[in-house]
Amino acid sequence: MLVKIASAAILGLEAYLVEVEIDSQRGLPGQSIVGLPDASVRESRDRVRAAIENSGFQFPPGYFTINLAPADTKKEGPLYDLPIALGMLSVSEQISVKNLNGTIILGELSLDGAVRGINGILPICLSLKKEGRNKVIVSKENADEAALVEAIEVLPVETLKEAAEFLSGAKIINPHKIDIASLFPPEPEYGIDFADVKGQGHVKRALEVAAAGGHNLLLVGSPGSGKTMLARRLPTILPPLSISEALEVTKLYSVTGLLDGKGVLVTTRPFRSPHHTTSDIGIIGGGRIPRPGEVSLSHLGVLFLDEFPEFERNVLEVLRQPLEDGKVTISRAHSTLTYPAQFMLVAAMNPCPCGNYMDPVKTCTCSPYTVQRYWGKLSGPLLDRIDLHVEVPRLKKEELAAQPDGEPSKMVRERVAAVRTIQQERFKGTETFCNARMTPRQMKEFCVLEKEGEELLKSAILHLQLSGRAYDRILKVSRTIADLEGSENIQARHIAEATQYRSLDRKGNEV
């Protein structure tokens, strides 16, 4: 006797169909799972047995061979518990599966027979839709997430028994539906606001420019000057996620199992701040079957690296490729996977190990060599990829005592959103989505300088000894500044402001 039940497996952000084939033979009792199962799949044996017995069924006699086809890809995770249990019950003729009709079944079993949620439901459902499947049985926990894919009929079950009753026609389960638009709050809720920050007007301006054009940013300042506080508020001025963007981010969080506590859909832009002891694999992603790293988890959001030079050098260097390409491709013996990584990098650092270098009040106790070594950790190519360098000075006594006086995030966000719309129009039909990611050809087309501006830029390059890449960065940033002003062409004052954000190119000459 043989029964086939359809299930799925995830590879990266895509899923493919897995056929769970269950065959039983008379003989000594036992079971074996084939089709490259990993430990968590093999352990399903014990869960399935307990779940079947505790659901009021009999553990079927005989020897079971369970094949997860295709047999040449590695299967992981507990999601095959439910199809295996249902298959065994059907093979031993304890239940009928006349309502199966190609329904995909996914779910982990608890020992008492309850069906638990699994990771990666959203990407699985999206991929199954492409394969032309339209029915899926999932746990109640996963129902909302699965229902995000509109074309799929989602049948939530709470227990193994309920699933068995549905398949044999003894119970009708109503398809679960969800209204995606209702998941988006009318106003994004962050709990923090730009208006909380005292002073630091020019830093706020730089953050606004960075947010508007998707530029990377480096904040340099002594301890306690508010770098972290400012960086944390950056997501609050970014435009809200669109539905398709939200789905993209949710996919990443779903496969990594980080969706818990974030609701069904990630509706706010991610903000990730990994500790500086994070490894290069942690940042970029990896593992035997590569999983997304921090750069991918901050996709369409902000990756904040506090204490930037404290990160291992190799960790900083691996950032270069995703910063350039907006995606990471990770190759392992088993598979090569590509994850999106369109993030804004915000780095924060002290000007020297003690933190008081160039401070007007406190004295720096570092030797010039220490300072040089500290800065030496940041390679030229990496600094080149950061568009805006901003110094965050210590606040003066008066400023500290004053009331917070900043603009609320909402107003800044509206300006930023308007500039993002301009960019969407501008780059329609191309892969570029913001000024920071313009290709050289696009720069030629869209960064038209007025004569005065051109001369200013020329003299800046001459006097500041800027690299070719720094030149490009200035042009891109000035494009954003011009957009913020609603100006068609880039004018001299836009160039002047953009050049001012290259302070480290100058400092490099000093130290």
Partner 1 sequence: MGKESYQQGIKGEEVAEKYLIQHGYKIIEKNFHSQQGEIDIIASENEFLVFVEVKNYSFRSYGSPLGAVRKSKKQSIIHAARTYLYKHNIKNTFCRFDVLTIYRRPDGSRAVDLYRNAFLIN
Tell me how far, at minimum, the Cβ of 56 lies from partner 1, in Å: 16
Which residue number, 32 or 439, has a Cβ lying nearer to partner 1? 32
Contact 43, 77 (CB under 8 A): no
d(CA 360, CA 381) in angstroms, rounded, equals 30
26 contributes a contact to partner 1 by CB under 8 A: yes
65 contributes a contact to partner 1 by CB under 8 A: no
Which residue number, 29 or 263, has a Cβ lying nearer to partner 1? 29
63 contributes a contact to partner 1 by CB under 8 A: yes
d(CA 347, CA 457) in angstroms, rounded, equals 26
39 contributes a contact to partner 1 by CB under 8 A: no
Binding mask 255-284 for partner 1 (x = CB under 8 A): ------------------------------
62 contributes a contact to partner 1 by CB under 8 A: yes
Q: Which of 8, 13, 22, 31 binds partner 1 (CB under 8 A)?
A: 31
Tell me how far, at minimum, the Cβ of 31 lies from partner 1, in Å: 7
Stretch of 21-29, 206-214, 274-282, 490-498 lying at the interface with partner 1 (CB under 8 A): 21-29
Chain-centre distance for alpha carbon 286: 14
93 contributes a contact to partner 1 by CB under 8 A: no
Which residue number, 88 or 219, has a Cβ lying nearer to partner 1? 88
Which residue number, 52 or 143, has a Cβ lying nearer to partner 1? 52
Q: Where are the beta strands (DSSP E) in 167-301?
A: 217-221, 271-272, 285-286, 291-292
* C-alpha pair distances (Å), 31 with each of 73, 266, 282: 20, 41, 37
With a CB cutoff of 8 Å and minimum separation 6, the contacts of 176 are 143, 144, 146, 147, 154, 155, 156
Which residue number, 25 or 336, has a Cβ lying nearer to partner 1? 25
61 contributes a contact to partner 1 by CB under 8 A: yes
Tell me how far, at minimum, the Cβ of 26 lies from partner 1, in Å: 5
Contact 131, 157 (CB under 8 A): no
Tell me how far, at minimum, the Cβ of 32 lies from partner 1, in Å: 6
Q: In what order do the strands lie in the sheet with 2-11?
A: 30-34, 63-69, 14-25, 2-11, 104-105, 135-139, 153-157
Which residue number, 45 or 389, has a Cβ lying nearer to partner 1? 45
* C-alpha pair distances (Å), 23 with each of 1, 92, 227, 307, 479: 6, 10, 62, 58, 65
Stretch of 3-11, 25-33, 294-302, 369-377 lying at the interface with partner 1 (CB under 8 A): 25-33
**Strand pairing report for 135-139 and 327-331:** unpaired
d(CA 139, CA 117) in angstroms, rounded, equals 6
Which residue number, 113 or 213, has a Cβ lying nearer to partner 1? 113
Type and span of the H or E element at 379: none
Tell me how far, at minimum, the Cβ of 93 lies from partner 1, in Å: 13
d(CA 288, CA 177) in angstroms, rounded, equals 36
Which residue number, 92 or 228, has a Cβ lying nearer to partner 1? 92
Q: Applying CB under 8 A, what is the total number of residues that bind partner 1? A: 11
Stretch of 26-34, 163-171, 242-250, 308-316 lying at the interface with partner 1 (CB under 8 A): 26-34
With a CB cutoff of 8 Å and minimum separation 6, the contacts of 102 are 6, 133, 135
Binding mask 411-450 for partner 1 (x = CB under 8 A): ----------------------------------------
Which residue number, 61 or 201, has a Cβ lying nearer to partner 1? 61
404 contributes a contact to partner 1 by CB under 8 A: no
Contact 270, 301 (CB under 8 A): yes
End-to-end CA separation in angstroms for the chain: 78
With a CB cutoff of 8 Å and minimum separation 6, the contacts of 173 are 155, 156, 157, 162, 166
With a CB cutoff of 8 Å and minimum separation 6, the contacts of 166 are 99, 137, 155, 157, 172, 173
Cis status, amide bond into 239, omega within 30 of 0: no
Q: Which two tokens stand for residue 199?
A: 């002073």
Tell me how far, at minimum, the Cβ of 22 lies from partner 1, in Å: 15
30 contributes a contact to partner 1 by CB under 8 A: yes
Tell me how far, at minimum, the Cβ of 295 lies from partner 1, in Å: 43
59 contributes a contact to partner 1 by CB under 8 A: yes
Tell me how far, at minimum, the Cβ of 163 lies from partner 1, in Å: 23
Stretch of 22-30, 181-189, 411-419, 423-431 lying at the interface with partner 1 (CB under 8 A): 22-30
Which residue number, 59 or 433, has a Cβ lying nearer to partner 1? 59
Contact 98, 169 (CB under 8 A): yes
Residues at the interface with partner 1 (CB under 8 A)? 26-32, 59, 61-63
